[in-house]
Amino acid sequence: MKTTTILPVLAVALIFAGLFAWGYAGKGGTAASVQNAGGSSAGGLLAASESFYDFGAISMRNGNVTKEFTVTNPTNQDVTIKTMVTSCMCTVAFLVRPDGSAKGPFGMSGHGGAVPPVNERVKAGESRTIRVVYDPNAHGPAGVGAVDRFIMLTDGSGNTLQLEIKAVVTP
């Protein structure tokens, strides 16, 4: 009688383990640039020399941390950054122009209202700085531990560039 109970439980456990492994393997790495599904780069493609940053251990008592990424238009056409959104309300991003002025903040879509459009034209060969600010206190004491946040920029052709920050938050 024990064999008839163990086999279905084992089968269900193996199915869940297989689904978990399949989903984890499908995530892959974070790409520095991603073109739209059609493979067309008409209208441009943004690229980042660095798309990932790990703050390491950061303390809640020390407050916000900031990382700046450089985003470049390596094409021979102008690209318009249409939107910039973050994956969590604890993270905001600013677009910094060559003259040092900043546009933003841009945050999580649907949290605190609509995220305004960026609508920033980046000429061929030009770069912009994306300033990312992470607030380790935003989630309160429940926010202690590992965090992984994303910033997604979308151009006028639907191409997306994803930036990523990680940290281990301590009290």
Residue 4 lies in a domain: no
Domain CATH number, residue 129: 2.60.40.10
pLDDT for 9 equals 61
Q: 28-44: per-residue pLDDT in tens?
A: 433 343 333 333 333 34
Q: What mean pLDDT do residues 98-115 have?
A: 88
Structure tokens at 71: 């985003």
88 in a domain, yes or no? yes
Query: How far is residue 140's CA from residue 161's CA, in Å, rounded to a whole number?
Result: 30
Enter the pTM of the model: 0.74
Does residue 85 form part of some domain?
yes
Structural domain tally of the chain? 1
Domain span holding position 105: 47-170
* Domain annotation covers residue 122: yes
38 falls within a domain: no
In this prediction, residues 71-81 reach a mean pLDDT of 94
pLDDT at 27 over 80: no
Mean pLDDT of 11-28: 47
More confident site: 170 or 43: 170
